[in-house]
Copies of this chain bind each other. A is one copy, B any other.
Amino acid sequence: MSVAVSPLAPKSYPEMPSLRGVRMATAAAGIKYKNRTDVLMMVFDKPASVAGVFTKSKCPSAPVDFCRANLAHGVARAVVVNSGNANAFTGAKGKQATTLTAQSAAAAVGCGENEVYLASTGVIGEPLDATKFAGVLGQMHSDATGDFWKQAAEAIMTTDTYPKVATRTADIGGVKVTINGIAKGAGMIAPDMATMLSFVVTDADIAPEALQALLSAGVGPTFNSVTVDSDTSTSDTLMLFATGAAAADGQARVEKGDDARLASFREALNDLLKDLALQVVRDGEGARKMVEVTVTGAENDAAAKKIALSIANSPLVKTAVAGEDANWGRVVMAVGKSGEMADRDLLAIWFGNVRVAVNGERDPAYSEAETTAVMKLEDIAVKVDIGLGNGTATVWTCDLTKEYVAINGDYRS
Interface residue tally for chain A (C-beta within 8 Å): 73
The verdict on A155 contacting chain B, using a C-beta distance below 8 Å, is: no
Q: Report whether A327 and B405 are in contact in the complex, using a CB–CB cutoff of 8 Å.
A: no
Q: Which residues of chain B are near A360, meaning CB under 8 Å?
A: 89-92
Does A59 touch B at the CB level, under 8 Å? yes
Contact in complex: A332, B60 (CB < 8 Å)? no
Q: Determine the chain B residues whose CB is within 8 A of the CB of A58 once the complex forms.
A: 335-344
**Is B411's CB under 8 angstroms from A400's CB?**
no
CB within 8 Å of B: which A191-217 residues? none
Known: A315-B404, A404-B319. A329 touches B231 (CB 8 A): no
For A340-368 the 0/1 string (1 means CB < 8 A from B) is 11111101000000000101111000000
* Listed A/B pairs (23) with beta-carbon separation below 8 Å: A56-B337, A56-B339, A57-B333, A58-B342, A89-B329, A89-B347, A92-B360, A94-B361, A124-B327, A124-B333, A187-B316, A229-B316, A230-B313, A231-B315, A231-B337, A234-B332, A234-B333, A234-B336, A315-B315, A319-B404, A323-B408, A325-B410, A327-B411
Task: Look across to chain B and name the residue whose beta carbon is closest to the beta carbon of A366.
Answer: B125
Residues in B neighbouring A343, C-beta threshold 8 A = 58
Interface residues of A (CB under 8 A from B): 55-60, 86, 88-94, 123-127, 187-188, 190, 229-234, 313-316, 319-320, 322-323, 325, 327-330, 332-345, 347, 357, 359-362, 400-402, 404-406, 408-413
Q: Complex formed: what's the CA distance from A333 to B233 in Å? A: 6
Smallest distance from the beta carbon of A122 to chain B beta carbons, Å? Answer: 10
Residues of B within 8 A of A333 (CB): 57, 59, 124, 188, 231-234
- Complex-state Cα separation, A315 to B188, whole angstroms: 9
Select one of B188, B339, B409 contacting A322, CB under 8 A. Answer: B409
Tell me how far the C-beta of A177 lies from the nearest C-beta in chain B, rounded to whole angstroms. Answer: 36
> A408: which of B319, B345, B406 is its contact (CB, 8 Å)?
B319
Query: Distance in Å from the Cβ of A123 to the closest Cβ of chain B?
Result: 6
Inter-chain contact B316/A188, CB cutoff 8 Å: yes
In angstroms, Cα B371 to Cα A318, docked, is 32
The prevalent SS among residues of A at the interface is: loop
Instruction: Specify which of B59, B320, B405 is in contact with A401 (CB 8 Å cutoff).
Output: B405
Complex Cα spacing A313 to B232, Å? 12
Measured CA separation A323–B404 after assembly (Å) = 12
Contact yes or no, B319 A409, CB < 8 A: yes
A325 vs B361: C-alpha distance when bound (angstroms): 44
Contact, CB under 8 Å: A335 / B408: no
By a CB distance below 8 angstroms, the chain B residues around A325 are 409-413
Q: How far is the CA of A334 from the CA of B88 in the complex (A)?
A: 13
| Chain B residues with CB below 8 A from A412, complex form | 320, 325, 327, 329
Minimum CB–CB distance for A363 against chain B, Å: 10
The CA-CA distance from A312 to B86 in the complex, in Å, is: 23
B409 touches A337 (CB 8 A): no
Find A405's partner among B230, B329, B405, B411 (CB 8 Å cutoff).
Answer: B405
Q: Which residues of B contact A400 (CB under 8 A)?
A: 315, 405
CB pair A336–B405 under 8 Å, yes or no, is no
How distant is A136 from chain B, measured CB to nearest CB, in Å?
Answer: 25
Given A333-B233, A361-B94: A408 in contact with B89 (beta carbons within 8 A): no
Select one of B123, B232, B329, B406 contacting A336, CB under 8 A.
Answer: B232
A410 touches B323 (CB 8 A): yes
CA of A333 to CA of B89, assembled, Å: 9
